[in-house]
Amino acid sequence: MSAETVLAVKQLISRRLPELNSLTVDWFGGEPLLEPAIIRDISEFVLNRKSRYAEYKSNMTTNGYLLDKDLLSELISLGISQFQISIDGWSGLHDVTRRRVDGAGTFDRILSNLVSAKSTKHDFLMTLRLHLMPSNVKSLPELLDRIEDEFGKDDRFRVHVKSIGRYGGANDKNIETYWKTEQVAAIRDLRSRVSSKNGVGKYSVGGTHICYASKPNSLVIRSNGKLAKCTVAMNSDKNNVGTLLPNGKLQFKKEVLDRWFEGFRTLEAVDLSCPWYRIGREKT
């Protein structure tokens, strides 16, 4: 993110804070922890102003590779207290799909960081997002057991199981996914398994929700200052809803933005849970 865009984000926050009852800042990527200086800069800016106005909270989606104990402590001091970390399987299975550029695996370091987080007394919420796919479904019960053994007694850790999907990109056709009926059956089986655990209530498997992209008061600011609604469909013009101007004002493409609010007009579950499901299939 350029210095100009960072300044524009600050201008936006300064303009809007007096009008807000609450402000939530979610850090997303790519990998946000590759740019800790920008996270620190904007977070400190908000913290120095939020006490006058809005209730403030901040979350982060990260692969967890750089989230060691020292960085975790700093992020929590900056108001970032909720984290989502994706895991594709235990150890070697995770390393098949989530490798470093040099081909080395990432699981052992991520697990070490999670264990280090558990050893602290910090107040945080760590959601481990377990990805369901045909190649790992048979190993997921064991993965849940291993996570339960390591983190089950710590209320700061949660588990969410989510089936992977095709959302665009050069390798989309190479991603092996479930047919809908197979996905439902696998999730039903996992739900019955986790509901019998001592950690009941800590787990969530599938289910309908209202996506952030359907919410009128949720907006994605990209690193180049462009505005979007969805963090998945980043390469589609249907998700290019405007621009953050240097003075912190928002310039919208109203006819594009309006389509993302369809769920609040129809109250249909499909529109509320994933507006892109319908928008992505519309002809331009």
Q: Which residue has the higher pLDDT, 282 or 173?
A: 282
Q: How would you class 35 by CB atoms within 10 Å of its CB: exposed for 0-12, middle for 13-18, buried for 19 or more?
A: middle
Tell me the mean pLDDT in the region 70-83: 97
Radius of gyration of the chain from its Cα atoms, rounded to whole angstroms: 20
Which residue reads 């004002």 in tokens?
249
What integer pLDDT is reported at residue 275 of this predicted model?
92
* 183 — pLDDT class (breaks 50, 70, 90): low
The H or E element that residue 142 is part of is helix 140-151
- Quote the mean pLDDT of the chain: 87
For the entire predicted model, the pTM comes to: 0.86
pLDDT at position 200 over 50 = no
Least confident of 80-84, 86-90, 169-173, 185-189: 185-189
* 152 — pLDDT class (breaks 50, 70, 90): confident
What integer pLDDT is reported at residue 191 of this predicted model?
63
Q: Where in the chain is the domain with CATH 3.20.20.70?
A: 3-209
Q: Which long-range contacts (CB under 8 A, 24 or more apart) does 137-141 make?
A: 137/186, 139/89, 139/90, 139/93, 140/89, 140/190, 141/190, 141/193
Provide the terminal-to-terminal Cα distance of the chain, rounded to the nearest Å: 30
pLDDT at position 181 over 90 = no
CATH class of 3-209: alpha beta
* 45 — pLDDT class (breaks 50, 70, 90): very high
> Model confidence over 235-278: pLDDT tens digits?
899 999 999 999 999 999 999 999 999 988 888 888 888 899 88
Nearest-angstrom CA–CA distance, 28 and 21? 23
What integer pLDDT is reported at residue 222 of this predicted model?
96
pLDDT at position 171 over 90 = no
Q: Which residues pair with 132 in a beta bridge?
A: 163
Nearest-angstrom CA–CA distance, 276 and 200? 31
Edge to edge, the sheet with strand 220-221 lists 220-221, 226-228, 242-244, 250-252
pLDDT at position 168 over 70 = no
pLDDT at position 209 over 70 = yes
| C-alpha triplet 248, 254, 255: angle, nearest 5° | 155
| Backbone CA torsion sign across 151, 157, 158, 161 | negative
